[in-house]
C-alpha cells in the first residue's frame, strides 16, 4: 500500500501542480512559475554539487548561456524559440565540455573557485557585448509558441515550465537509477570506487558537469521566453550563490530538494517584503536580514537540508522497494583452469620520497587458491595491495596477470582484466542501498550508455545487473538487507557487502584487505565459509589479514612481510616453522 502510494507520489504531485493555476491568482501563478524555473536550474546543481560533490559557483552562467543563446537566436536571427532551445543545449554542452575538460580535474576548493571565475567572466563578457544588449539588456524576446498558439499569459507559461520541470525531473530520476547514475552517485566519496569497478571517474565527472550545464541552459531558455527580457544581473555571481543556497537548503543530494529549496527561497524572498511591511512600515530594507536568519535557522535544524529532514519526519522508515529477482549473469567470465597462475609479481618496489615502503617483493597466486599476506603494522601490506590493484604506480618490478605482462597498471584496467578488491576501511556509498552498492561492482558489465539510460531503454540490462547484485547478496547472506542504506548496516555487514560488490564485477582474482577486521566470531565463520566456496569455484584470492588464526586456517599459502620486505613465503606449516618469522613477527605477536 505505502509502496504504491510512494510510487504514485510524483504523479499526484504533478496532478496537483497541473490543477494549481485554476485555484490561484495570476500573481501566485507567476511566482510559482519562477520557482519552477529555479527548480530546473537547481536540479542541474543537485546533480553536480549534491550528487557528484563538485561545488559550483558558476551555475547561473550556464543558465545565462542558455538564456542568451536562445534570446540572441530568436531576436537577432528571428529563429523559433524551439531552435533556440536546441541552440542553448548545444552551446551549453560545448561550453561545459570545454570548461569541464580543465575544471573537473581539479579538486575541492580549486574546482569551486574556478567555476566562480568562469561565472564572473560570463557576466562581464555579456555585459560588454553589443549584440547581447550590454548591461541594458536584450528586449523583445518572443514567447514560445506551439503551432499558432503563443504562450504569453501567466497560466500558459506556467504549464510550459511545469512540463519542462516534470521532464527534467523524470529524466534525472531515471538516469540516477541506472548504471550511469550509480557511478555518478559514488563519485561524492571520491574517484576510488568508480575507478576500482572499471569506470573512468574523470569522464563521469565531466558528464555530470555537462549535464548540469545542459539542465541549467534549459532553465535559462525557459527564463528567457517567460521573462522575454534578458540582462546580465540574473546570471551573475549572486544568482549562482542563490542557486547553491536553494540546493543546500532543499537537501543537496536530493532531486526533490531542488524543488523544495527553490520554492522556499523564492517565496520567502517575495513574500517577506509584504510581511515586514506590516511590522516595520513601507520603507523597510531588512528583508535580507530576515531571509538570512531563516536560512541559518533552517541549516542549524536540518543540516542535510529540508527534504531529508522532512522525509525522515514523515516516513521514518525507509520506503519499501519492490524486490528484485535474483539472476545469474548470462555471460560470465571464463574462469582459468584450476591451479593456473593468475597473478605473479617479481621484485616489486615502491618508494615514497626516501622511504622504501615495499622492497623487492615477489610472489604469485593461482586460481582456486587463497594466498594470505601477513605482517605487522607498517610492513607494507596495504602499499603492496595498492601496487597490485593499480591504485598506486610501482617504482620498480614486474607484474603479470594471467600470463600477460602488465606494463602500466590502473585500477580501472585491472578491473576490466578480472581483478576486484575490497578496502581496509569499507568504501561504500553510504546513502545508496546495499543492492545498489553491489550493482556498482557490475558497472563494467553493462553496455547501456547515457541515451539508453535516460530513455529507459535499459530495462533488460538493469534487470540483469540488479538481479545479479541480488544474487550475490543472497550468496553472502545479506539478501534481507538489500534495500537498507549501506550506511545503516553494521560494520561487519559493510565488510561482507564490499565482498559482494567485488564479486559483482565477476573477477578471477579477488583482493581482500583485512575483511575480518571488526567481525564477530560467528561472522568470521560465515566469511570463512564464503571464501572457501569461492575458492572451490576456482577464484584466486589474496587475503591481507591481521587475524592469524583466520589466515592460517584458510590460506593455502602465506607470505609474511616486515619492513616492506618479504621474509617468508610458503605453506602455512612451513611459514609457521620459519625461524625468521618466529623472530620477526610471531615472536612479537606472541
For residues 336 to 365, the per-residue mask of contacts with another protein, x marking binding by CB under 8 A and - elsewhere, is --------------x-x--x-x--------
What's the rounded Cα separation, in Å, for the pair 511 and 375? Answer: 16
Spatial distance between the Cα atoms of 246 and 526, rounded to a whole number of angstroms = 47
Single residue of 178, 186, 196, 382 touching another protein by CB under 8 A: 382
Residue (289 or 416) nearer to another protein, CB = 289
Query: Is residue 278 involved in binding another protein (CB under 8 A)?
Result: yes
Q: DSSP 3-state helix, strand, coil percentages of the chain (rounded to 5)?
A: 60, 10, 30
CB atoms within 10 A of CB 550: 21
Give φ, ψ of 145 to 5 degrees.
-125, 145
Residue 198 touches another protein, criterion: CB under 8 A: no
32 contacts another protein (rule: CB under 8 A): no
16: contact with another protein by CB under 8 A: no
- Tell me the helices (H) and strands (E) count for the chain, helix number first: 24, 12
Site for another protein in 88-127 (CB under 8 A): 102, 105-107, 109-114, 116-118, 120-121, 124-125, 127
Nearer to another protein among residue 7 and residue 297 (C-beta): 297
Residues 48-87 within binding reach of another protein (CB under 8 A): 49, 55
Does 408 help bind another protein (rule: CB under 8 A)? no
Residues 125-144 that bind another protein (CB under 8 A): 125, 127-128, 134-137, 139-140
The contacts of residue 40 (CB under 8 Å, 6+ apart) are 161, 164, 165, 168, 215, 218, 219, 222
Nearest to 511 by CA among 423, 416, 394, 405: 423
Strand residue runs (E) in 493-583: 509-513, 540-544, 557-562, 565-570
Q: Which of 350, 493 has the CB closer to another protein? A: 350
Min CB(397)–another protein separation in Å: 15
Helix (H, G, I), strand (E, B) or coil at 230: strand
Contacts of 476 (CB under 8 A, 6+ apart): 496, 497, 499, 500, 503, 530
Among 171, 291, 552, 563, binds another protein (CB under 8 A): 291
* Residue 512 per-residue DSSP state: E
When the beta carbons of 13 and 106 are compared against another protein, the nearer one is 106
Q: Which is nearer to another protein, 188 or 417 (CB)?
A: 188
Whichever of 11 and 110 has its CB closer to another protein, that residue is 110
Residue 380 sits in the site that holds another protein (CB under 8 A): yes
Which positions from 247 through 276 interact with another protein, judged by CB under 8 A? 248-249, 252, 267-275
Task: Return the closest-CA partner of residue 433 out of 388, 370, 482.
Answer: 482
Binding footprint of another protein, residue count (CB under 8 A): 90
Binding mask 142-181 for another protein (x = CB under 8 A): ----------x-x---------------------------
Grid cell 557487502 is found at 497
Candidates 88-96, 278-286, 519-527, 535-543: pick the segment binding another protein (CB under 8 A). 278-286
Distance in Å, CB of 81 to another protein, minimum: 14
Tell me if 379 contacts another protein by CB under 8 A.
Answer: yes
Tell me the residue length of the chain.
590
Contacts of 101 (CB under 8 A, 6+ apart): 206
Q: Which residues, numbered 296-335, are part of the site for another protein (CB under 8 A)? A: 296-297, 299-300, 303
- Which CB sits closer to another protein, 114 or 254? 114
Determine whether 79 is exposed, middle or buried from the number of CB atoms within 10 Å of its CB (0-12, 13-18, 19+): middle
Amino acid at each position: 500500500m505505502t509502496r504504491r502510494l510512494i510510487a504514485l507520489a510524483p504523479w499526484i504531485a504533478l496532478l496537483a501542480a497541473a490543477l494549481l493555476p485554476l485555484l490561484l491568482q495570476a500573481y501566485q501563478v507567476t511566482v510559482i512559475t519562477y520557482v519552477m524555473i529555479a527548480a530546473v536550474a537547481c536540479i542541474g546543481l543537485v546533480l553536480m554539487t549534491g550528487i557528484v560533490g563538485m561545488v559550483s559557483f558558476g551555475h547561473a552562467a550556464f543558465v545565462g548561456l542558455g538564456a542568451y543563446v536562445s534570446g540572441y537566436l530568436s531576436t537577432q536571427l528571428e529563429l523559433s524559440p524551439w531552435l533556440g532551445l536546441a541552440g542553448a543545449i548545444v552551446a551549453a554542452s560545448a561550453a561545459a565540455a570545454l570548461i569541464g575538460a580543465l575544471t573537473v580535474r581539479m579538486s575541492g576548493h580549486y574546482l569551486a573557485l574556478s567555476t566562480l571565475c568562469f561565472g564572473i567572466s560570463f557576466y562581464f563578457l555579456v555585459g560588454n557585448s553589443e549584440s547581447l544588449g550590454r548591461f541594458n539588456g536584450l528586449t523583445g524576446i518572443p514567447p514560445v509558441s506551439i503551432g499558432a498558439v503563443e504562450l504569453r499569459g501567466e497560466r500558459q507559461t506556467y504549464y510550459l515550465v511545469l512540463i519542462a520541470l516534470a521532464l527534467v525531473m523524470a529524466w534525472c530520476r531515471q538516469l540516477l537509477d541506472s548504471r550511469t547514475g550509480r557511478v555518478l552517485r559514488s563519485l561524492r566519496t571520491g574517484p576510488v570506487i568508480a575507478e576500482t569497478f572499471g569506470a573512468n571517474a574523470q569522464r563521469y565527472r565531466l558528464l555530470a558537469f555537462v549535464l548540469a550545464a545542459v539542465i541549467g541552459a534549459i532553465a535559462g531558455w525557459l527564463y528567457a521566453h517567460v521573462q522575454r527580457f534578458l540582462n546580465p544581473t540574473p546570471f551573475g555571481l549572486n544568482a549562482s550563490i542563490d542557486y547553491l543556497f536553494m540546493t543546500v537548503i532543499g537537501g543537496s543530494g536530493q532531486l526533490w530538494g531542488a524543488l523544495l529549496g527553490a520554492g522556499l527561497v523564492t517565496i520567502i524572498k517575495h513574500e517577506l517584503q509584504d510581511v515586514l511591511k506590516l511590522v516595520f512600515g513601507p520603507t523597510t530594507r531588512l528583508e535580507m536580514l530576515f531571509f538570512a536568519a531563516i536560512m541559518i535557522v533552517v541549516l542549524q535544524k536540518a543540516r542535510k537540508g529540508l527534504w531529508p529532514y522532512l522525509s525522515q519526519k514523515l516516513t521514518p522508515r525507509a520506503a519499501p522497494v519492490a524486490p528484485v529477482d535474483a539472476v545469474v549473469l548470462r555471460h560470465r567470465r571464463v574462469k582459468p583452469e584450476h591451479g593456473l597462475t593468475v597473478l605473479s609479481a617479481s621484485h616489486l618496489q615502491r618508494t615514497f620520497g626516501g622511504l622504501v615502503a615495499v622492497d623487492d617483493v615477489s610472489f604469485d597466486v593461482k586460481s582456486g587458491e587463497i594466498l594470505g599476506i601477513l605482517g605487522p603494522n607498517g610492513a607494507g601490506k596495504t602499499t603492496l595491495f595498492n601496487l597490485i590493484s593499480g591504485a598506486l604506480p610501482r617504482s620498480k618490478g614486474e607484474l603479470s596477470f594471467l600470463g600477460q605482462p602488465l606494463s602500466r597498471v590502473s585500477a580501472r584496467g585491472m578491473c576490466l582484466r578480472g581483478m576486484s578488491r575490497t578496502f581496509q576501511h569499507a568504501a561504500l556509498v553510504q546513502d545508496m542501498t546495499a543492492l545498489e552498492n553491489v550493482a556498482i561492482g557490475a558497472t563494467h558489465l553493462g553496455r547501456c550508455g547515457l541515451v539508453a539510460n535516460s530513455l529507459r531503454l535499459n530495462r533488460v540490462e538493469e534487470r540483469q545487473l540488479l538481479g545479479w547484485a541480488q544474487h550475490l547478496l543472497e550468496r553472502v547472506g545479506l539478501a534481507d538487507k538489500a534495500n537498507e542504506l549501506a550506511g545503516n548496516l553494521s560494520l561487519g555487514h559493510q565488510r561482507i557487502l564490499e565482498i559482494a560488490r567485488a564479486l559483482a564485477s565477476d573477477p578471477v582474482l579477488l583482493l581482500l584487505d583485512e575483511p575480518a577486521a571488526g567481525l564477530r566470531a560467528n561472522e568470521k565463520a560465515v566469511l570463512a565459509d564464503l571464501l572457501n566456496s569461492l575458492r572451490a569455484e576456482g577464484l584466486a584470492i589474496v587475503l591481507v589479514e591481521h587475524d592469524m588464526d583466520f589466515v592460517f586456517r584458510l590460506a593455502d599459502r602465506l607470505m609474511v612481510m616486515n619492513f616492506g620486505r618479504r621474509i617468508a613465503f610458503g605453506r602455512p606449516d612451513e611459514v609457521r616453522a620459519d625461524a625468521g618469522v618466529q623472530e620477526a613477527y610471531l615472536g612479537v605477536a606472541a
